[in-house]
Amino acid sequence: MSRDTVKTIDGRVFELPTDEEDARITAAALADPDALPMTDEQLARMRPAREVLSPALYAALTGKGGRPKSATPKVFTGIRFDADVLAALKATGKGWQTRVNDAMREWVKTHSAA
């Protein structure tokens, strides 16, 4: 028997459940008292988060994630180290990349670019 499939934008393919499998899944979900479907009344009372949360909380929850902007932003670069050098740097523990940056800053101060 051929199964229906869906293809995602990135090319992944998923098999859809058969009608029988879908019925078993639905029955199992309905039997779970901690995961009952919402009633039409509950659905009708739902509002977008931006309407019920304070502006500050909404902004905190939906704002751009990641690190805060830095006064001295870092620039990504790829660099190759000998395996033993990299192992020794990593062995110094968390923050080793920051320490390498600091060491390079000191080296740049003492060496002319000319």
Element spanning 62, H or E: helix 55-62
pLDDT at 114: 64
pLDDT at 78: 92
What mean pLDDT is reported for the chain?
A: 90
CA 65 – CA 45 distance, rounded (Å): 30
More confident residue, 71 or 51: 51
Mind listing the pLDDT tens digit for each residue in 22-51?
999 999 989 999 988 889 999 999 999 999
pLDDT at 68: 78
CA 33 – CA 106 distance, rounded (Å): 63
> Looking at the predicted structure, is the pLDDT value of residue 1 above 60?
no
Angle between helices 83-91 and 96-110 (to 10 degrees): 110
* CB contact set of 37 (below 8 Å; sequence gap of 6+): 29, 30
CA 10 – CA 54 distance, rounded (Å): 36
Indicate yes or no: pTM above 0.85.
no
The average pLDDT across 50-58 equals: 93
3-class secondary-structure state, position 30: helix
Contact between residue 52 and residue 39 where contact means Cβ atoms under 8 Å apart: no
